[in-house]
């Protein structure tokens, strides 16, 4: 999708559709019959005049994602005027604007429109640059469709987005360019996650990583089974050994000229391209969704794509441990003991707790490669979905300063994560009678005991764990996003890395 910035009068803009946000500026009232005080978020008198009659009719409430489409609006050169509700003005933020922009794109492309112009709202809570950035990021999210393989697929997409704004042109254009890079990276991640496992094997994932690295100037190395065994990645190999598909250890490095020797940020992603559960096999119902079990690795690849283009002055190393988790005569069994790259011994209680095994060796390898700060991302546990539902992803940290840095990145990125505990008492749940630790602490506090397992391999290195199992896949279509892969964590990871520059 092409993005364009104009600073001229939106009333004079010739476009298929001009989009404006409508907010409710009324205060909370005990009177249930009180009418909303609606405001079209623009200073353009001609737009306010064109919208006045319908706003005063009582047909428009300003509630979030409510759409009202006017054809041939009086006084405007646009063919259509789309008014889209943003909810209460008091709480309207960049988070809301992203979603509103996505909803506008999805509304108009369903009507076979190919282009639109969005008037960036003027608000005390939004700078001109942050508003323009939110519009573009939200539009890219709304433009993605997952129905790749339908023979009757409709070619519905927005080809061109114009953002109408006022302010410093240089700063606004920089905001648009940045938002386009991040939006494309998020959709790149969604594209990887969306592919079925027969079309996204570990080998294919590695090929996609190589191609992206070549396009963006990243260093890329891909290793197979021999290297995994040479490195003594016993935890990673224990998962990979059950599949006929070759595993891939994918390493990307971003080392910009002029960056200090430290910090080196390590991004480690779970890349299970299909998860049957192994010998501890999953129920058949819903197993088809397990193609998404590489969403953590895909998020790291998407983040690296954006980082390479945004060029912050900080070194970043990414590791994705990619394999399938399959049941076979070669697969590991409950009761087996594996030796991780770090030398720790692991008793396998449940072969479906495989993501933490590949991450264990990925985290240790990242430290060997010189990473001073670690972040891993994984669709790790169903337990985090029980705890947080489909709204917040889980975040765990062994370092408060690093967590606060990521928390600030979340505010900028507009993604929702909730910090979970890592009290030492939880370690009792992963003690083994035959080895150092077990790979499954049981049902209770499952997301926490999984994080405690990973903490054993991060050790004293500042580390964050992102459990995105509940948010990497949108279960139902929303006004602003299609059902399917969400691309969660890409935006936050980019902002987090940039905070070190």
The CA angle 69-70-73, to the nearest 5 degrees, is: 150
81 CB-near residues (< 8 Å, 6+ apart): 17, 18, 20, 47, 50, 51, 69, 70, 73
Q: What are phi and psi of 42, to 5 degrees?
A: -160, 155
The CA angle 188-191-194, to the nearest 5 degrees, is: 150
Task: Spot the catalytic one: 208, 356, 367, 491.
Answer: 356
Summary count for the chain: helices (H), strands (E): 13, 20
Task: Spot the catalytic one: 282, 311, 408, 419.
Answer: 282
Tell me if 298 sits within 8 A of 318, measured CB to CB.
no
Annotation marks residue 180 as catalytic? no
Question: CB 211: neighbour CB atoms within 10 A?
Answer: 11
Q: Closest Cα to residue 439, out of 249, 235, 219?
A: 235
DSSP string, 256-299: -TT--S--EEEEEEEEEEEE--TTSPPPSTTGGGGGGGGHHHHH
Q: Closest Cα to residue 240, out of 206, 268, 278, 208?
A: 278
Rounded to an integer, what distance in angstroms lies between the CA atom of residue 371 and that of residue 413? 24
Rounded to an integer, what distance in angstroms lies between the CA atom of residue 367 and that of residue 346? 20
Annotation marks residue 356 as catalytic? yes
Parallel/antiparallel/unpaired status of strands 248-254 and 219-223: antiparallel
- Tokens 């570990």 identify what position? 202
Q: End-to-end distance of the chain based on CA atoms, in angstroms?
A: 29
Rounded to an integer, what distance in angstroms lies between the CA atom of residue 209 and that of residue 361? 20
Instruction: List active site positions.
Output: 282, 356
């Amino acid at each position: 999708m092409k993005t364009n910035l104009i600073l001229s009068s939106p009333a004079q803009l010739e476009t298929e559709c001009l989009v404006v946000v409508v907010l409710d500026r009324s205060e909370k009232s005990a009177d249930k019959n009180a009418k909303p005080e609606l405001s079209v978020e623009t200073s353009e008198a001609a737009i306010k005049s064109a919208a006045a009659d319908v706003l005063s009719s009582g047909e428009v409430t300003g509630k979030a994602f409510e759409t009202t489409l006017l054809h041939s609006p009086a006084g405007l050169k646009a063919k259509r005027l789309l008014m889209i509700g943003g909810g209460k003005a008091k709480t309207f933020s960049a988070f809301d604007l992203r979603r509103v922009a996505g909803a506008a794109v999805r509304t108009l492309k369903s009507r076979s429109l190919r282009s639109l112009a969005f008037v960036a709202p003027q608000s005390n809570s939004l700078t001109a640059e942050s508003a323009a950035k939110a519009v573009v990021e939200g539009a890219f999210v709304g433009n993605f469709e997952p129905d790749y393989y339908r023979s009757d697929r409709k070619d519905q997409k927005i080809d061109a987005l114009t953002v109408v704004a006022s302010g410093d042109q240089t700063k606004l254009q920089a905001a648009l360019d940045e938002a386009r890079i991040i939006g494309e990276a998020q959709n790149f991640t969604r594209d990887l996650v969306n592919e079925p496992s027969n079309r996204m094997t570990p080998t294919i994932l590695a090929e996609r990583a190589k191609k992206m690295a070549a396009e963006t100037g990243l260093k890329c190395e891909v290793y197979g089974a021999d290297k995994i065994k040479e490195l003594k990645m016993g935890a990673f190999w224990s998962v990979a050994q059950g599949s006929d598909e070759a595993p891939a250890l994918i390493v990307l490095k971003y080392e910009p000229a002029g960056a200090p020797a430290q910090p080196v940020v390590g991004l480690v992603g779970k890349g299970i391209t299909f998860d049957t559960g192994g010998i501890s096999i999953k129920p058949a119902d819903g197993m088809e969704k397990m193609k998404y079990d590489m969403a953590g690795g895909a998020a790291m690849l998407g983040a690296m794509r954006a980082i390479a283009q945004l060029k912050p002055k900080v070194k970043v190393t990414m590791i994705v441990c990619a394999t399938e988790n399959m049941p076979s005569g070669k697969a590991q069994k409950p009761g087996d003991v594996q030796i991780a790259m770090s030398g720790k011994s692991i008793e396998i209680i449940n072969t479906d707790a495989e993501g933490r095994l590949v991450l264990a060796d990925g985290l240790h390898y990242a430290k060997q490669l010189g990473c001073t700060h670690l972040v891993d991302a994984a669709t790790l546990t169903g337990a985090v979905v029980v705890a947080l539902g489909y709204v917040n992803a889980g975040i765990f940290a062994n370092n408060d300063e690093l967590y606060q840095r990521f928390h600030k990145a979340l505010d900028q990125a507009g993604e929702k994560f909730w910090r979970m505990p890592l009290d030492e008492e939880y370690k009792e749940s992963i003690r083994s009678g035959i080895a150092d630790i077990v790979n499954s602490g049981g049902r209770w506090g499952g997301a926490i005991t999984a994080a405690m397992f990973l903490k054993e391999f991060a050790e004293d290195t500042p580390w964050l764990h992102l459990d995105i199992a509940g948010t990497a896949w949108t279960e139902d279509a929303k006004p602003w996003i299609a059902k399917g892969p969400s691309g969660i964590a890409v935006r936050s990871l980019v902002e987090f890395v940039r905070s070190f520059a």
